[in-house]
């Protein structure tokens, strides 16, 4: 059974008491030799926060218009590289005092004889805040109305055994105009035995070779995706431009020693701005 989660936080303005914990690092990498790792939690709020950690299996996908979502699978089958059943967190539940930190130790115990490769999980860290009063509620009868809020942070966990490789193939690079933006789509197909973690960059270049607009975005390709990017076109003169598109296996939010190197992939397409 699978379900798709859109990665969102509550959009309504809420008091600071509802703020979740801060989590570091942004991704956890564990190898077969050490079989252990950690995450650090920090409570920036003014009240104690109850925190729980669970593991789930999921990976990013794109919807029909190119927006990234997290697909989670409740019971991954044997064909999927799931490490969910191997992870133990110590402690799994804890209460973090205001402005305090808590280190969560992770122990991974894979079954004997697993094949070389990369295995995935997601760590879901849920922080429960205290009840937030609901404004406008009728309290004339002495009844207090409030919302019990939870803030959930989900980060990837990668388990590697033996030699793993990654790479990327770019195809179907295309553009379209939407209001005052040039929308860029491209099919990104992972190569090799491991997820591709990198950075996508694009530049819109005029006939003189001057860049008139750019974008840059981190990207994670576990399975093939078709993401959407955009460059603003307000103020651009009508005419022909060249869109230069590249993907490199580097990420500013992931330690260099954890990234898998792969050749930079480049493509380009002519664009007409009217």
Indicate the residue among 102, 126, 161 that finishes a domain: 161
Report the CATH number at residue 109.
2.60.40.10
How much is the pLDDT for 194? 98
Can you tell me the distance from the alpha carbon of 193 to that of 191, in angstroms, rounded to the nearest whole number? 7
Same domain, 150 and 235: no
Q: Residues 2, 40, 150, CA angle at the centre, nearest 5°?
A: 50
Same domain, 153 and 171: no
Same domain, 139 and 212: no
Same domain, 154 and 193: no
Same domain, 78 and 200: no
Same domain, 211 and 132: no
Report the CATH number at residue 181.
2.60.40.2360
Same domain, 67 and 192: no
How much is the pLDDT for 139? 56
Indicate the residue among 130, 161, 192 that finishes a domain: 161
Name the residue range of residue 196's domain. Answer: 166-273
How much is the pLDDT for 76? 96
How much is the pLDDT for 18? 37
Same domain, 22 and 152: yes
Same domain, 141 and 170: no
Q: At 130, list the tokens.
A: 């205290």
Indicate the residue among 115, 145, 161 that finishes a domain: 161
Buried b (16+ CB within 10 A) or exposed e, 244-263: bbbbbbebeebeeeebbebe
Can you tell me the distance from the alpha carbon of 195 to that of 237, in angstroms, rounded to the nearest whole number? 40
21 with 97: CB under 8 angstroms? no
Q: How many CA atoms lie within 13 A of 207 on its CB side?
A: 6
How much is the pLDDT for 107? 98
83 with 159: CB under 8 angstroms? yes
What are the tens digits of pLDDT across the range 117-153? 999 999 999 998 766 555 555 555 656 555 678 899 9
The dihedrals phi and psi of 84, each to the nearest 5 degrees, come to -60, -45
Can you tell me the distance from the alpha carbon of 153 to that of 24, in angstroms, rounded to the nearest whole number? 11
Q: What does the pLDDT profile of the chain (274 residues) look like in tens digits?
A: 544 443 333 223 333 333 589 999 999 999 999 999 999 999 998 899 999 999 999 999 999 999 999 999 999 999 999 999 999 999 999 999 999 999 999 999 999 999 999 999 999 999 987 665 555 555 556 565 556 788 999 999 999 999 999 999 999 999 999 999 999 999 999 999 999 999 999 999 999 999 999 999 999 999 999 999 999 999 999 999 999 999 999 999 999 999 999 999 999 999 999 8
The dihedral built from the CA positions of residue 201, 207, 211 and 212, taken in this order, carries a sign that is: negative
Give the alpha-carbon dihedral of 186, 165, 216, 68, to 10 degrees.
60
Same domain, 154 and 238: no
How much is the pLDDT for 142? 59
Domain count, the chain: 2
Q: At 115, list the tokens.
A: 């094949």
Neighbours of 91 (CB within 10 A): 13
Same domain, 153 and 216: no
Same domain, 197 and 65: no
How much is the pLDDT for 149? 80
How much is the pLDDT for 75? 95
What residues does 39 pair with on adjacent strands? 104
């Amino acid at each position: 059974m699978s379900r798709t989660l859109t990665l969102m936080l509550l959009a309504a303005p809420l008091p600071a008491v509802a703020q979740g914990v801060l989590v570091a690092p942004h991704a956890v990498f564990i190898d077969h030799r050490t079989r252990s790792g950690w995450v650090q939690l920090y409570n920036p709020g003014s009240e104690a926060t109850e925190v729980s950690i669970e593991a789930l299996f999921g990976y990013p996908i794109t919807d029909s218009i190119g927006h990234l979502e997290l697909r989670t699978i409740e019971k991954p089958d044997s064909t999927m590289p799931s490490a969910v059943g191997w992870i133990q967190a110590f402690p799994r539940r804890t209460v973090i005092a205001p402005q305090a930190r808590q280190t969560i130790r992770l122990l991974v115990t894979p079954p004997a004889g697993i094949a070389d490769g990369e295995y995935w999980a997601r760590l879901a860290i849920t922080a429960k805040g205290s009840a937030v009063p609901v404004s406008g509620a009728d309290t004339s009868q002495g009844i207090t109305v409030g919302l019990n809020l939870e803030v959930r942070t989900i980060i990837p966990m990668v388990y590697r055994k033996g030699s793993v490789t990654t790479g990327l193939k770019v195809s179907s690079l295309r553009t379209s105009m939407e209001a005052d933006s040039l929308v860029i789509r491209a099919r990104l197909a992972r190569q090799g035995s491991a997820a591709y973690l990198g950075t996508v960059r694009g530049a819109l270049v005029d006939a003189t070779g001057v860049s008139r607009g750019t974008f840059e975005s981190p990207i994670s390709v576990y399975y093939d995706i078709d993401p959407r990017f955009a460059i603003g076109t307000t103020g651009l003169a009508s005419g022909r431009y060249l869109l230069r598109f590249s993907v490199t296996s580097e990420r500013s939010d992931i330690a260099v020693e954890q990234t898998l190197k792969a050749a930079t992939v480049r493509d380009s397409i002519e664009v007409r701005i009217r």
